[in-house]
Each structure stands twice: as structure tokens, then as C-alpha cells.
């Protein structure tokens, strides 16, 4: 207890001894702060302006680059995960979303996008990619059709030598014919539309059966002209070109106009009885149908697939 009393008296004596110093400090604080505001701070500002106006900023930036300070800071932040947190917070900020919307909706950005999209380079790239995708799809379609050609004949126990030959099979020919039918219908629709327009100007045709006869005859003429024109001219219709098959005459070239006309009539005869005229394709060694027998033609793959040796 006596020790506690002595410490208390010593503490009181120490506070009494330092009282004048504390009082002097409080008394001089206000003048010192005023002097700092009037003289020290302006002088520091002048020194900072002088330093920034000199070569110090460039030297400091060069030193930062030479010592890879920014890289080290970013690496440390990335290693600690702080960089991810800062980026996530920045992206989640409403202010960031607002700035992004303002930038995207600005006239400058929209004008830049329109200029980029309409540039010849972008159009060429899009065209090239589209053409490449279409070519890949067509190539895959054709490969699938060729496999089905062979598969159908294997299913009916055709000899092995018929598989993989140069002659187009029933599936490929059916796909080519389907494409051609769609094109013929489109052409006939356009032609009949013009006919209907002319009829509306000069008056409706009577009787009704005559209209039906004219439409039927017009469809036959369009379809026949389509087939004869492409077979005799190029040896293939657009549908056959898509599937990469062609029709050839005895000399290996496109059939003559006469053979093309006969082949067209043979095509009608083959289609009428539920496409029965194409059944011989499944059994004939050269995969010929009724039109080929009548016109002396044959349909081959355009890449001339080799025929395995017979055995």
C-alpha cells in the first residue's frame, strides 16, 4: 500500500513538472499553424511545381518502366487475388454499366460499327466463311448420299463390285431430282404469275378447263425445256451439279439435244408409275434407269470414282 502511495505522489509530481511545457505548446500551436499556412505550404507548392516542370516526371516514369514496377505490382495483385476482386467490383459497379451503355449508344461508336460492317474486308470475310460453310454442307450431303447409294445396293445383296463404282446410285439421283423439281416449280410459279398478271389486264380466260389445260401444258413445257437445256448444254442440271453427278452420252460427253429430248420423255414415263422406272438402277451394272435405256445415256459421279476389279 505504501508503494502505491509513493507511485501516485511521483505521478502527480511529474504531471506538475511538465505542466508548463504543455501549456507553452498549447499557447504556441495556433501561431505555428498560421505560420505553416502562410509560408511552409506555399513554399512546398512551389517546390512541387518546380519538380514537376523539370525532368523528374520523365525520369521517374523511365525508372518505373526499366524496373518493371507496374508488372511486379500487377503480378503481386494477381497472385494474391486482389486484382480479381478489384476487377469484379469494377464490372459489377452501376457506374461501369452506365458508362458502358453510354459508350455503346454513342453516335461515334455506332458510326464506327457501321463503317466496319460495311467495309469490303468484312464483306469479303463473311462471304468467304458463308461459301466455305455451304461447300462443307454440300460435300457432307454428297458423301452421305454416296454412302446410301452403296448401302441400298448392299441391302438388296448386290455384288460387291457394284459398290464404289463410277455410276451414280438411286439415292444421289433422287436428291438431284428433288432439287430440280423445286427449281422447276419456282420457275413455273414465276412464269404463271406473269401470265396471271397479263390475264388480269386483258380479261379472265374462259372456260375453266382451258385454264387447266394451259397450266398443265405450260408446266410440261417449262420442265421439259429445263431438262433438255441443261442436259444437252452442260450435261447436268443444277440439282445434279449440287450433288456432283452428270449425265453422259455414248461418247462420254453431254448427250445431244435429241438424246436429251428422249431422256426427258423417259423421265416422265419413269416417274408416272410411282418412280418404278428407276428400279433398274438397283440391279443394273451401270445403274441405269428407264430414261438411260431409252436415250443410251448413263449418270456418273463427277469425280469419277474408280471401279473395283470384277471378280
121 pLDDT above the threshold of 70:
yes
Helix axes 94-105, 107-117, angle to 10 degrees: 60
pLDDT band at residue 162 under the 50/70/90 scheme: very low
> 27 versus 290: which is more confidently predicted?
290
> 137 versus 129: which is more confidently predicted?
137
| CA–CA gap between residue 276 and residue 73 (Å, rounded) | 80
pLDDT, position 158? 56
309 pLDDT above the threshold of 50:
no
pLDDT band at residue 1 under the 50/70/90 scheme: low
| CA–CA gap between residue 135 and residue 230 (Å, rounded) | 22
Mean pLDDT of the chain: 79
Cα 91 to its chain centre, rounded Å, is 28
44 pLDDT above the threshold of 60:
yes
| CA–CA gap between residue 171 and residue 193 (Å, rounded) | 33
Greatest mean pLDDT range, 5-14, 93-102, 120-129, 221-230: 221-230
Q: What is the pTM of this model?
A: 0.59
173 pLDDT above the threshold of 70:
yes
> 146 versus 204: which is more confidently predicted?
146
What average pLDDT score do residues 285-300 get?
A: 95
| CA–CA gap between residue 305 and residue 288 (Å, rounded) | 17
The number of helices, as runs of H, and strands, as runs of E, in the chain is 13, 2
Cα separation values, 293 from 123, 160, 265, 280, Å: 48, 23, 12, 10
130 pLDDT above the threshold of 90:
no
pLDDT, position 82? 80
pLDDT, position 306? 43
299's enclosing H/E stretch is strand 298-301
For 156-289, where are the alpha helices, taking DSSP H only?
Answer: 170-202, 208-233, 238-242, 257-271
| CA–CA gap between residue 154 and residue 137 (Å, rounded) | 26
Amino acid at each position: 500500500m505504501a508503494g502505491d502511495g509513493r507511485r501516485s505522489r511521483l505521478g502527480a509530481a511529474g504531471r506538475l513538472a511538465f505542466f508548463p511545457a504543455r501549456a507553452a505548446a498549447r499557447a504556441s500551436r495556433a501561431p505555428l499553424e498560421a505560420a505553416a499556412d502562410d509560408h511552409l505550404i506555399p513554399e512546398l507548392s512551389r517546390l512541387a511545381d518546380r519538380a514537376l516542370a523539370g525532368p523528374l516526371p520523365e525520369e521517374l516514369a523511365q525508372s518505373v518502366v526499366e524496373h518493371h514496377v507496374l508488372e511486379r505490382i500487377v503480378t503481386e495483385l494477381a497472385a494474391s487475388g486482389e486484382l480479381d476482386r478489384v476487377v469484379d467490383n469494377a464490372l459489377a459497379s452501376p457506374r461501369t454499366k452506365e458508362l458502358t451503355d453510354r459508350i455503346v449508344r454513342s453516335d461515334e461508336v455506332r458510326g464506327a460499327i457501321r463503317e466496319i460492317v460495311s467495309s469490303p474486308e468484312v464483306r469479303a470475310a463473311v462471304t468467304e466463311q458463308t461459301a466455305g460453310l455451304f461447300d462443307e454442307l454440300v460435300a457432307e450431303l454428297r458423301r452421305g448420299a454416296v454412302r446410301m447409294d452403296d448401302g441400298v445396293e448392299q441391302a438388296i445383296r448386290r455384288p460387291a463390285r457394284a459398290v464404289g463404282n463410277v455410276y451414280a446410285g438411286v439415292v444421289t439421283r433422287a436428291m438431284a431430282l428433288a432439287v430440280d423439281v423445286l427449281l422447276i416449280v419456282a420457275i413455273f410459279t414465276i412464269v404463271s404469275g406473269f401470265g396471271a398478271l397479263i390475264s388480269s389486264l386483258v380479261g379472265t380466260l374462259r372456260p375453266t378447263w382451258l385454264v387447266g389445260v394451259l397450266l398443265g401444258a405450260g408446266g410440261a413445257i417449262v420442265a421439259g425445256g429445263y431438262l433438255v437445256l441443261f442436259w444437252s448444254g452442260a450435261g447436268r442440271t443444277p440439282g445434279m451439279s449440287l450433288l456432283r453427278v452428270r449425265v453422259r452420252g455414248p461418247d462420254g460427253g453431254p448427250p445431244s439435244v435429241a438424246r436429251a429430248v428422249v431422256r426427258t420423255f423417259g423421265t416422265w414415263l419413269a416417274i408416272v408409275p410411282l418412280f418404278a422406272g428407276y428400279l433398274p438402277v438397283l440391279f443394273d451394272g451401270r445403274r441405269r434407269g428407264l430414261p438411260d435405256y431409252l436415250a443410251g445415256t448413263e449418270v456418273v459421279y463427277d469425280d469419277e470414282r474408280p471401279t473395283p476389279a470384277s471378280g
